[in-house]
A and B are shown apart, each in its own frame.
Chain A
Amino acid sequence: MGENMKLPLKPFRSRGGVKAPHRKHTWNNESVVMPPPSEVIICMSQHIGAPCTPVVKAGDEVKVGQTVGDSDAFMSVPMHSSVSGKVKRIETITMPNGSKVPAVRIESDGLMTPYEGIAPPEINSREDFIKAVRNSGVVGLGGAGFPVHVKLSVESDKVDTLIINAAECEPYITADNREALENSWGVISGIKSVMELMEIDRAIIGVEDNKPHAIKALREVCEAANRDMHGEVCVLPLKARYPQGAEKVLIKVCTNRVVPEDKLPADVGCVVMNIGSIAFVSSYLKTGMPLVTKRITVDGEAVKNPQNVIAPIGTKIKDIIEFCGGYKCEPEKLIFGGPMMGLALPDDEMPLLKQNNAILAFSKEEAARLEPSDCIRCGRCAAACPMGLTPPLISGYIAQRDVKGMTDSGIMVCMECGCCSFACPANRPIVQNMRVGKGMVRTAARKK
């Protein structure tokens, strides 16, 4: 790389962003482990990439950690049962984005018997490690769901920096904060393993500065770790400005490197992993238990007891809300993830997915949005865009269905963080419109 490989003392500059309200009500609530629900639905697509095919059939007995779905594709991870019990049926469920995928419905026997085949993986090489990471079923737990083993499958001399994403810039969500507070040693041991096995010399943990306790806890373990490890690790407090945790923004503020359009972090020498993912990798290396539970923040005015819950993957939202005391008032909107980028759900029957980090139940007041009015060209959207786009310009091309104009003005750089819509005083659906435009560009590319 030929550049300064020292650890950064303060974050590098990033552009745009918005002052979203923090609303981290649950930051100080210890995570609660949820008892097994009566049934779970293990969805066969909980990641970016090829969906799995169920490898069990109705009537089969399964145990915790047993594989219930797998795929031959590289860009895919296996799915495991999160409870012990009996497979009720294989069905098709509709995902929040409208796609239909197979799912395995398992009736729990309430015993949570672990699968016999579970044993810590034997790791002698990098290949073993990457294979183990795939078998663990881990995906990017911050929300994107990018299979972790794919991130790690890069040439060893290409990557020099491991970035741990603990920015948690979305309002409400505190799951990463709890991970840092409750499992800081797990986080650091995961970082150590990845650094050693991937021969990476430095690691940077990016945390927004609205989480001083997490920063303190992580700094303590980093200090201890730096005494006896290969390479160096540090905690970098980031400005609490949404979207610091967006991958490209995080790489920029941690290393001052710009990921080119259509390129991946590895192309600028970085591997970015969510703090939850890295902590899970460490626990998997020790126990061999695949990813079957997930820590999520349950919040919103319509929830009785907002808290962080460690729930079996596949638990229905309904059951998780029930565990949190049920609804305090009629919910108006249910969101999978944070309020800035999360998906609104049509009902509470959806099962919990690996990459979910929050369930928000908004009351009528919380969900209220104003009617859109005409653009006054105030430029707040352009000023807020972390990617340096000019939304009013692109909106013009979208209205004209001008694919070349959209591409030239950078529409595909848009990561849909929603800062533009958030900032808009006319309440225009700017990012929503961008999604439509990106769809047009993709369709046009396919036709070529």
Chain B
Amino acid sequence: MGNMLTVSSSPHLSSGATTKRIMLDVIISLVPASIAAVVFFGWKSLVLIAVCIVSCVALEYICRRVMKRKNTTGDLSAVVTGLLLALNLPSGINPLIAVFGCIVAIVVVKQMFGGIGNNFVNPAITARIVLLVSFPVHMTTWEKPFEWLRTADSVTGATPLAMMAQGDKTSYLDLFLGNTGGCIGETCVLALLLGGIYLVIRRVISPIIPLCFIGTVFVLSFLLGGDPLFHIMSGGVMLGAIFMATDYTTSPMNPLGKVIFGIGCGVITVLIRLYANLPEGVSFSIILMNILVPHIENLTRTKPFGKEKKNEKA
């Protein structure tokens, strides 16, 4: 035995799970939605996705470099952020606006707060909201699905939620398949569900938040006189509930906290949709609940095994 032995504190085994693998699973789970985006809204969607991913990764690399910190682009989290942001944009948007969104997501929301795991709101959602208030017209100009096949000029249409406000209802089948106007990644419920099931099977996410979020939207919209099926399949509910509200960093850790978080998102979404001037409320509901996460965690802390009550107060 000539070499020096490694001496380290136990455990000497690991589960093999890595941040990179988790992020890769999220990317895989978003592949169906990305394909749906290209099918419905054309090659422009693919360009948009590519622009967002490349800018997010490049910005993360530059940020880490400038801040003299370890390069973390290898963990693929910037790819996830870029992909999610792209899926949250309308197809006709100017790619430069998308790049601005990437700057907000990566530089402001993520890296300025310390990088992965330290942001207190979801980077992609925040970027989307910043773009929505900065470029309201660009962000709400929707192209009709399949128009890219028919004509070179883009033909604009309305989202199912906007049409609903005017009393015009989209069929459930169109909603389920994604044959409607909207952000490129939010329309196809089928693709999003497939991705969600993959994430749950791979144990990347717990189904609690999506179920509570979607369930609350269903029940509350029904109680308030809306069409529950329409509400859960339209707008950003599926994309938000499955992929954005389940972001580890900005959602509670323990199951009870997840329940409260999911229900909160659902309630705010329905209230905005039915009573506010905005047609859609998923982004705002998630960012509002993100901010409440520390409080939810404090309220739902698990009791350590065998710990006496009196010690807790002391």
Contact = CB atoms under 8 A, between A and B. Distances in A.
A335 B77 CA distance: 36
B117 A331 contact: no
A421 B75 CA distance: 19
Contacts of B118: 374
Contacts of A20: 13
Interface stretch (A119-127, A128-136, A337-345): A337-345
Nearest to B253: A379
Given A346-B7, A374-B72, A390-B301, A367 B307 contact: no
A340 B12 CA distance: 6
B14 A427 contact: yes
Contacts of B302: 382, 388-390
From DSSP, what is the main secondary structure of chain A's interface residues?
Answer: loop
B11 A379 contact: no
B304 A333 contact: no
A392 interface: yes
B36 to A, nearest CB: 27
Interface residues of A, number: 70
B66 interface: no
A387 interface: yes
B276 to A, nearest CB: 31
Interface stretch (A53-61, A275-283, A428-436): A428-436
Contacts of B153: none
* Most A CB within 10 A of own CB, among B2, B8, B10, B307: B10
Nearest to B11: A418
Interface in A391-428: 392-393, 407-410, 413, 416, 418, 421-427
Contacts of A413: 304-307
Contacts of B3: 330, 332
Contacts of B152: none
A261 B9 contact: no
A168 B192 CA distance: 43
Given A367-B6, A424-B14, A263 B306 contact: yes
Interface stretch (B15-23, B46-54, B183-191, B219-227): B15-23
Contacts of B7: 333, 344-346
A112 interface: no
B117 A374 contact: yes
Contacts of B254: 379, 382, 390
Nearest to A302: B1
A388 B12 contact: no
B94 to A, nearest CB: 32
A327 interface: yes
B62 interface: no
Given A370-B14, A427-B14, A410 B116 contact: no
A252 B306 CA distance: 11
A342 B10 contact: yes
B14 to A, nearest CB: 6
A376 interface: yes
B311 A432 contact: no
B68 interface: no
B305 A367 contact: no
A354 interface: no
B249 A389 contact: no
Given A344-B12, A347-B5, A425-B19, A258 B253 contact: no
B279 interface: no
Given A362-B12, A376-B249, A386 B5 contact: no
Given A332-B5, A376-B117, A387-B304, A339 B249 contact: no
A123 B313 CA distance: 49
Contacts of B14: 369-370, 421-422, 424, 427
Interface of A: 15, 18-21, 171, 248, 252, 258-261, 263, 327, 330-335, 339-348, 360, 362, 367, 369-370, 373-380, 382-383, 386-390, 392-393, 407-410, 413, 416, 418, 421-427, 429, 431-432, 435
14 contacts: A252-B305, A327-B1, A332-B6, A348-B1, A367-B12, A373-B19, A374-B118, A382-B253, A388-B302, A390-B254, A418-B10, A424-B17, A429-B9, A431-B9
Enumerate the 10 nearest inter-chain pairs by beta-carbon distance, A residue then B residue, closest first: A410-B304, A418-B11, A379-B253, A425-B17, A387-B305, A339-B12, A413-B304, A432-B9, A378-B248, A388-B302
